[in-house]
Amino acid sequence: MVIIAKHIHVTGIVQGVGFRPFVYGLATRLGLRGWVCNTSAGVEIEVQGQKSKVESFIHSLEVEAPPLAKIDSINIQDKLPDNECLTFDIRPSTTLEGAFQPISPDVALCVDCEHELFNPQDRRYLYPFINCTNCGPRFTIIKDLPYDRPATTMADFRMCDTCRTEYENPLDRRFHAQPTACPDCGPLVQLRYPSSNTPAVSNIELRMSAILKTRQFLREGKIVAVKGLGGFHLACDASNEKAVDELRRRKGRLGKPFALMCASLNVIQRYCEMNEEEVALLTGHKKPIVLLNVKEKNRMTKSVAPNMDTLGVMLPYTPLHHLLLNQTDLTLAKQAAPPVLVMTSGNISEEPIAISNEDALERLEPLADAFLMHDREIHIRCDDSVVRVESQKSKVEGRPTFDLRPSTIYLRRSRAYAPYPVALPFYTKPTLALGGELKNTFCLTRERYAFLSQHIGDMENTEVYESFEQNVEHLSRLFRVQPEIVAHDMHPNYFTTQYATCNTQHATLIPIQHHHAHIASCMADNKLDDRKLIGLSFDGTGYGTDGAIWGGEIMLASYADFERVAHLEYLPLPGGDSATRNPWRIAVGYAESLGLDITNLPFLESMETQAVDIVRQQVRKKLNAPLTSSMGRLFDAISSLIGIRNQVTYEAQAAIEMEVLSKSYLSEAKPYPFEIQNGIILLGELLKHVIQDVKSNQAAGFIGARFHHTVCAMAVEAAINVRQKTGVNEVALSGGVWQNQVLLDLTRSNLLCENFIVYTHQQTPANDGGLALGQAAIANFK
């Protein structure tokens, strides 16, 4: 009998996911000796025994790993057997200087814990903080690595004897589940009222009475601030139109759709269509907000998602959520609860979500009638992720149909996904990429890992700046990154540019052009090596190398550099940033610049003549009317011209509403004429024909459909032109405009029909939420 011994080093997400008890169980099952240990660099294993059993152990490490584990590498080295080793043990964790490893994101409540939560015979029956090795908070409670209870916000909760026994039993589901607790030793939930409404002497309802009272409040139409995994939500009954309208008024969120949390799939089916992939996302261990198509006849309150044909829906992902929404438990049935809740971020619009009880009571007091909170600290805020499933088929009339593998499109990558790294196809120096000004995320890279942060938000106020700085410091420490390179947007006035200049010492600062970063992000997302491809970078705004506002860019790009080979023609943006909130200004400015007559068009009827004349004067005199080649602004201009929206209350609102109206006309619509001259995509003919269609009383949806076909035709013709000159046959689509599903489907199908190889984002958002990944990649090649 041949006895061998191996030292095994495993990297990836292998802490906080049940990996050590899995290793322990596997080794004992095979009769092997040795030990397993968490370190700040991963998991270390020493194993010895019969050669065949050790080989079987190594094979099973990867193929039988726990469902939440994600193994990046297994390094195996021979060693001499230790005759004094008689058992297989789990050793205490150790810290290695400078070592790092990925961190598990937060995980939705697992099936086993959900069963125990609603089992009257279980000691954790209706306990709002039930969890195990397979579920519960991770990223949002970690203070440092390795991932052990003393390094989390659970450190102050001393386990009772029963919990301690489970925690120390390698064969128990709660072995080293760091947040594990029970009603006797763990966090408590409480219901508090704003100080101005109720005397302090009676402002706390403990345990189940807090849950039942909250259910009552929601049924009565009140707004409740609910503390979740990564921050507070503001919740109300989605079927109560007065409550939804009041939440909009208090929050200052006039038109942007609200997210919904539904009690079950059966409840979702009342309102939305779902395919297998969408059901898998809704019910999996991540449970993001999933955009679903609404059914034609549904009774959802219209003010939840005005003018939309989709709803953003999620299922409960914490035990507290389950307790608020459960419709079947006999104890909870004493107080009926709404089956659908609005669950929107606990903040005043554009501020970070509240995470501490004190912050919530102060900042959310004007917004909430009551606060359902608890005493488990949230160390780092993390908003809900937003995703959708891309179309399985993209169809082009008269041409072949391409069956595409369904995949997840990330609109916001945050809870349950961040900070899981993107694997890079090249090695990097320690790098900090600061991202963009809108939808900010930042990126830390080390070796072949790119750690993209959770959603930070729009860098519009001091509170977001502070959140950004706290997150940069926290993730840099967790992943042991001391940046040698700091990449930032080349816009001189962005907060991120100022941060790079003032807060990074002993690092090389590298400014990155915005749209180049978009294309590089798509390349890195698809694990492409450094080579030139055609980049179609379409978005709302980005600082160009000539100082103008770019956004409709056709590039020949690699990680190392780019060439701007074509773009939308420059047109004026009257009022600068104010025009982005008032699309009518863009429509009037474009028409004035191109010499087009818009007299008596319906969209001007609600506008004051003096205001319109001022915009025209700005364009003629070139006063506060910066030039732009932005595709996003072109969408705004068309939306206003055809009467969809003159003002917007959130980013891309006009374009999104035009997309919704366009869908039913796509099959009958044809592109408008346009021309590309010397790399400039001229827009005069397009806008002239749009105006003619408006004057002919064509439906806004029909004009919108023609416009979508036109943008597709522009993209394809520009790509063909570049291929004819260079021979390059690969195309990357990136930038926020490509989150338009209609445009994405049309363009990708037509490019495929022209035999292009097309890359779209697979792990990161196409919008500015993925920008930092591209910045980091470019900086390492520069």
Summarize pLDDT for 176-194 with one digit per residue, the tens.
999 999 999 999 999 998 8
Q: Read off the pLDDT of each residue in 486-490 and give the average, rounded to a whole number.
A: 97
CA gap 591, 82 in Å, rounded? 83
Q: What is the pLDDT, as a whole number, of residue 45? A: 96
CA gap 746, 247 in Å, rounded? 37
3-state SS class at 372: strand
pLDDT reading at 207 higher than 50: yes
pLDDT reading at 148 higher than 60: yes
pLDDT reading at 428 higher than 60: yes
431 pLDDT tier (thresholds 50, 70, 90) = very high
CA gap 699, 686 in Å, rounded? 17
3-state SS class at 176: coil
Q: Read off the pLDDT of each residue in 118-123 and give the average, rounded to a whole number.
A: 96
pLDDT reading at 396 higher than 50: no
CA 506 to chain centroid: 32
The overall average pLDDT reported for the chain is 93
pLDDT reading at 71 higher than 50: yes
Q: Read off the pLDDT of each residue in 67-82 and give the average, rounded to a whole number.
A: 92
CB 352 within 8 A of CB 460: no
Whole-model pTM: value is 0.94
pLDDT tens digits, residue range 248-265? 999 989 899 999 999 999
Percent of the chain at pLDDT > 90 equals 85
Centre a 10 Å sphere on the Cβ of residue 83 and count the other Cβ atoms it contains. Answer: 9
pLDDT reading at 2 higher than 90: no
Q: What is the pLDDT, as a whole number, of residue 349? A: 79
The alpha carbon torsion through 714, 715, 719, 722 (nearest 10 deg) reads 60
Q: Read off the pLDDT of each residue in 516-540 and give the average, rounded to a whole number.
A: 97
Q: What is the pLDDT, as a whole number, of residue 406? A: 59
Residues 6+ apart with CB under 8 A from 550: 514, 515, 541, 542, 543, 544, 567, 628, 629, 630
pLDDT tens digits, residue range 10-69? 999 898 888 998 999 999 999 999 999 998 889 999 999 999 999 999 999 989 999 889
405 pLDDT tier (thresholds 50, 70, 90) = low
pLDDT tens digits, residue range 668-722? 999 999 999 999 999 999 999 999 999 999 999 999 999 999 999 999 999 999 9
The alpha carbon torsion through 461, 467, 468, 470 (nearest 10 deg) reads 140
pLDDT reading at 392 higher than 60: no
Q: What is the pLDDT, as a whole number, of residue 715? A: 98
pLDDT reading at 274 higher than 60: yes
CA gap 169, 187 in Å, rounded? 22
pLDDT reading at 291 higher than 90: yes
Of 45-54, 80-89, 108-117, 129-138, which gets the smallest average pLDDT? 80-89
